[in-house]
Structure 1
Amino acid sequence: MADQREILTDKSIARLPSAGEKQYRVRDTELSGFFVLVGKRRKTFMAQGEFWRDGVREFTAQIKLGDFGEMTTRQARGKAKEALGSIAKGQRPGEAPKIKPGSITLRQAWERYRDAHMKRKGRNSGTIENYRDHMERLFKDWLDTPLARLGRQPNLVVERHDKITKENGPYIANGAMRSLRAVYNHARKSNTELPAANPVSAIDWNKEHRRNTGMGPKDISAWLRELYAMDNPLRREFHLFTLFSGSRPTALKKIRLDHVDLQKRMIHIPRPKGGEEKAFDIPLSRPMIRCIIRAIRWGRIMYSAQAKSWLFPADSEGGHLVEHKEERNVLSKWGNDLRQSYRTLAQAVGVSELDVHLLMNHSLPGVNAGYITRDRLLRDHLRQQQQRISALVVQSVGVERDPSVDLWLGSAKLEANAVQMQAEDQPETTPIAA
């Protein structure tokens, strides 16, 4: 039977016939959501409303108010108004004690992720700052928003990804969403009431292309002339060492003098990207050692106080070089460009893929790589591979083309002879220690 509608009063309800095999409803025409459910033996006052939370309809709530005869229609109507009001506010009538007064906000989730996860696990300060920029700048207006709302309304995340893409670019938009995804996943471990599906999964990721800005052997000579022409000799050595090592600039800027061991010909990087557990040593070639000595000398001249602690000192709060970027018309390649160049040069001189991973402190591919003992390779094998890469850089200048640059770097002929001697003295392959 279809629902009936009329003004509910004590008299009108008393006249309603009992139901047959199936109950029926009579809805009040004055108060939407208030009705009486008529059965075979009793007539029950009911209230029904849509339960919404964070702008999303979750279900239809139906509440029993009492039986006709035990309460008047006026009393039932008053209780119905209260119940429907609670439903309209997003509260479950009769289940208030089970509902938390508030859910974790994005700000709380971010601060917890920062302190309990990133700092505790020794994440790089640059990585933490990158997350902070995403959370506190790109999601600033969401900081006090319940995280559950984003979980229940993934369309908000989709719209924000589109907005950031348009205003800040596709790479920043993707990066911001990766940060949000990580914070949400971490928060859900201790806040099980959050929707299981991460709202970031709803976005269409922007297509990303690996930046192909590395130099090949034929490009190095022109770049070295640019580098030699720079006014700041300490920054000159920093960029050169970045190319020689293939390491991340953020790690190189924080090299302390006590991390440098010229006797063992190694530099220790205690906290690279990934934290202390990713600490590694960089084997030093002869050109790298000369670069370090020049950097120490220039540091003592330019920043005598800071040079007591740092390999690349500067007049900064931390006492070391902070900003490594240059104007492109002054130096065409720096930072990650040089990291890519190192990888390209290594390939040009025939350094194996595995050795390049070890030299650049990349995660090793394959299961068997986990059995390699890196320290056993540092002293001889990896240093020889480092020497081959450095020699290619030095030899690219050529005495007849630019003697001033060659004099700055050291004799290219000596480097060529040294590499040749190593090749003659060493077997084709070096056993891997396990």
Structure 2
Amino acid sequence: MTTAIDFRRDSQLLKAAPGMYRHKGDAFPGLYLNVGKRRSTWYLKARVNGKTKSVKLGVFPIMTAAQALKQASKETAHHGNETTAAIRKVSDAWREYVADALANERASEKHLTDMERKLERYASDILDKSPTQVSLLDVRRCLNAIPSVSTRHHVKAGINNAYSMLDIPTPIQRGKIKLKQVGSRDTFWKVLCDSDETIDRRDWSPMWEAIMAVKNPLRRIAWVVMLFTGIRADDVRSLRWDQVDLQRKTIRLPKLKNGEDRTLPICETVVRALLSIRGGGSEQVFPASSQTGYLDHLDVLRHPAIIRDSGRTDKNGEPIMEGAPVLRQHDARHHFTSACGPARIPSYAVAFLRGDITSKDTDDDMAMHYQEDLAIEDLVADIENVILLRIKQTPDFELELSD
């Protein structure tokens, strides 16, 4: 039996005996409070599509009657559509978005796979929740825990994309979550050099030593390719051998953001690095057993001989010292670009070689129009020479996959 009481008076709710209660009046339609011996729970009971549904909303007094009513309106909107009602988790909505985006060619499979990987890594708790149960606070905590600014933007966009398939609004309210602009961070190497005047910022040998210290040969060579080409980390890690022509010394990047392919020349160092891992039998240059089939995010590289305070303490309160971070994935693009300056590479050629899509089509057109006069292969060699001077050695890639 259901008893009618005033949901607007918390004192009545707190003193209510065990049982089921509804509001005395019509201010809280479909809202019920189940009072138990240990806790009280809000429920929505309503007829949706000809069927009576009972949906758990939250626990009183953590959730007030007003909050429960607001939650009930979201549940009603969600379950009122037979199609969206089948979506029980945010992950279901994301899969609907992926299928729709692929069917309508609004995003590439590679882009969607990368975004899904980031969602699964950083927003798994949100993916496992019902779309109606995700709050702005859930999203804020999720995004603030992501160290990479660009990844925060990708995860935020992924969550919004999932909610675009539903009849309820996204929990990311406009203006409530503001993220730093992508590209606002200094490289780890600049931060380190700014903090220590004894370090020569043009001496990249510590960065190179950190790369060569990577035990996994595939990850090691991925870093080499990123540094000597300036290509985005995602494009490098997802490379297939059918994109690489080691005889012609080129890498082809398919389906850039403008929908076009681009074939880029690569230097001798990259050719020799790739030859050292050729013959593994995989279609992927950097294969892995992950869902994507290629290497996941490459971890930040630290130099073991440059020791710095980590900012953390051990169980005894003593500061934890560790190798200073010297290189992250996106930093490699910055360092490649900085090597283009001494090599006197025109800005439009730099954008072309990095695989950038600029706001003006003229940059790509200029690079293609003047390709013969520029002798882009020679430009790549000039950039390579600058990098070799800075790492202070000519790399030797006699590596084995069994390392």
TM bin, normalised by shorter chain, reads 0.5 to 0.7
Q: CA deviation at 1:376?
A: 7.3
8 Å Cα contact 1:215/1:338 also seen in 2 = no
Higher helix share: 1
From 275, 286, 295, give the equivalent of 2:268. Answer: 286
C-alpha spacing 1:365/1:383, structure 2 compared with 1 (3 Å): farther
In 2: Cα distance, 1:170 partner to 1:335 partner = 10
**What is the CA-CA distance between 1:391 and the residue it aligns to?**
1.2
Counterparts of 2:299 and 2:241 in 1: how far apart (Å)?
Answer: 23
CA drift of 1:392 comes to 0.4
The question of whether the paired residues in 1 share the 8 Å contact of 2:249 and 2:267 is answered with: yes
**Equivalent residue for 1:242?**
226
Distance 2:243 2:101 in 1: 27
Does residue 1:258 correspond to 2:242, yes or no? yes
Does the aligned pair in 2 maintain the 1:234–1:312 contact within 8 Å?
yes
Hey, what does 1:4 align to over in structure 2? none
CA distance in 2, matches of 1:388, 1:133: 39
SS at match of 2:203: helix
In the alignment, structure 1 residue 268 sits paired with structure 2 residue 252: yes
C-alpha deviation, 1:318, in angstroms:
7.6
1:406 and 1:90 map into 2 onto residues whose CA distance is 66
Match of residue 178 from structure 1 = 157
Q: CA deviation at 1:178?
A: 2.7
1:123 aligns with 2:109: yes
Counting only pairs closer than 5 Å after superposition, residues 108-257 of structure 1 correspond to structure 2 as 108-118=92-102, 121-124=107-110, 125-133=113-121, 136-143=124-131, 145=132, 156-157=135-136, 159-164=137-142, 171=149, 175-184=154-163, 186-187=164-165, 200-207=173-180, 210-213=184-187, 215=189, 218-257=202-241
Shift in alpha-carbon separation, 1:122–1:201, aligned structure 2, 3 A: same
Between the aligned partners of 1:234 and 1:256, the Cα distance in structure 2 is 13
In structure 2, relative to structure 1, the CA distance for the partners of 1:353 and 1:370 (3 Å cut) is closer
Describe the SS at the equivalent of 2:252.
Answer: strand
Taking the aligned partners of 1:90 and 1:317, their CA distance within structure 2 comes to: 37
Query: What is the TM-score with the length of structure 1 in the denominator?
Result: 0.53
Within 2, Cα distance between the matches of 1:212 and 1:245? 20
Q: Cα gap change, 1:117/1:131 in structure 2, threshold over 3 Å: closer, same or farther?
A: farther
- Cα deviation 1:327-349 (Å, max 9, x = unaligned): 52458324222122112222343
Taking the TM superposition and a 5 Å limit, the aligned residue runs for 1:89-108 are: 105=87, 106=90, 108=92
Contact persistence 2:210–2:302 (CA under 8 A): no
**1:50 to partner: Cα distance:** 4.3
Q: Distance in 1 between matches of 2:222 and 2:72?
A: 59
CA contact (8 A) 1:214 1:340 kept: no
| Paired residue type of 1:364 | T
Please give the TM-score of this superposition, normalised by the length of structure 2.
0.57
Give the drift of 1:90: 8.2
Q: What is the CA–CA distance in structure 2 between the aligned matches of 1:114 and 1:247, rounded to whole Å?
A: 26
How far apart, CA to CA, are the structure 2 residues paired with 1:53 and 1:370? 60
Is the alpha carbon distance of 1:178 and 1:258 closer, same or farther for their aligned partners in structure 2, counting shifts above 3 Å? closer
Q: Does residue 358 of the first structure (1) align with residue 352 of the second (2)?
A: yes
Counterpart of 1:141 in 2: which secondary structure? coil
Quick one: structure 1 residues 316 and 166, their matched pair in 2 at CA, closer, same or farther if it must change by over 3 Å? closer
Matched, 1:393 2:372: no
Identity across the alignment (%)? 15
Q: Measure, in 1, the Cα distance between the counterparts of 2:297 and 2:374.
A: 34
Which structure has more strand as a fraction of its residues?
A: 2
Distance 1:161 1:170, change over 3 A: farther
Change (3 A) 1:324 1:311: same
- d(CA) in 2 for partners of 1:162 and 1:90? 23
RMSD of Structure 2 on Structure 1 (CA): 4.5
CA shift, 1:358, in A, is 1.4
Task: Measure the CA separation in 2 of the matches of 1:383 and 1:345.
Answer: 15
SS in 2 for 1:263: coil
Q: Does 1:336 align with 2:330?
A: yes
How is 1:1-20 mapped onto 2 (pairs within 5 angstroms)?
none
> C-alpha separation between the residues in 1 aligned to 2:31 and 2:384?
59
Query: 1:317-374 CA deviation, whole Å, 9 max, x = no partner?
Result: 8875556436524583242221221122223433232222211222212364475574
8 A contact 2:207–2:303 mirrored in 1:
no
Shift of 1:393: 0.9
Q: Gaps (5+ residues) in structure 1? A: 1-30, 34-48, 56-86, 92-98, 151-155, 399-404, 410-434
Q: CA shift at 1:389, angstroms?
A: 1.3
| 1:218 Cα offset (Å) | 0.9
Instruction: Report the 3-state secondary structure (helix = DSSP H, G, I; strand = E; otherwise coil) of the residue aligned with 1:219.
Output: coil
Q: Deviations over 1:10-47 (max 9, x none)?
A: xxxxxxxxxxxxxxxxxxxxx987xxxxxxxxxxxxxx
Q: How many matched pairs?
A: 294
